[in-house]
Amino acid sequence: MSPSQPTVLVVDDEPSQRDLLSYNLEASGYRVISAENGEEALMLVAEDSPDLVVLDWMLPSVSGIEVCRQIKSRSETRSLPVIMISARADEGDRVRGLETGADDYVTKPYSVAELMARVRTQLRRTRPATVGETLEFEDIVLDAESHKVFRGAKPLKLGPTEFRLLSTFMEKPGRVWSREQLLDRVWGRDIYVDTRTVDVHIGRLRKALCQHGGEDPVRTVRGAGYALG
What pLDDT does residue 36 have? 95
pLDDT digits 0-9 by tens, 145-196: 888 999 999 999 999 999 999 999 998 899 899 998 888 888 876 667 788 8
User: What is the band of 1 on the pLDDT scale with cuts at 50, 70, 90?
Assistant: very low
Average pLDDT over residues 67-76: 92
pLDDT of residue 48: 85
Whether the Cβ atoms of residue 13 and residue 40 lie closer than 8 Å to each other: no
Find the mean pLDDT for residues 54-83.
92
- This prediction has a pTM of 0.74
Answer yes or no: are the C-beta atoms of 8 and 30 closer than 8 Å.
Answer: yes
pLDDT at site 131: 76
d(CA 11, CA 42): 10
Q: What are phi and psi of 164, to 5 degrees?
A: -65, -40
Q: Count CA atoms within 13 Å of residue 81 on its CB side.
A: 20
Q: Which of 18-22, 111-115, 189-193 has the lowest mean pLDDT?
A: 189-193
Stated as kind and residue range, the H or E segment containing 104 is strand 104-107
- Which helix (H) or strand (E) is 65 found in, with range? helix 64-73
Q: In what order do the strands lie in the sheet with 154-156?
A: 134-137, 140-143, 148-151, 154-156
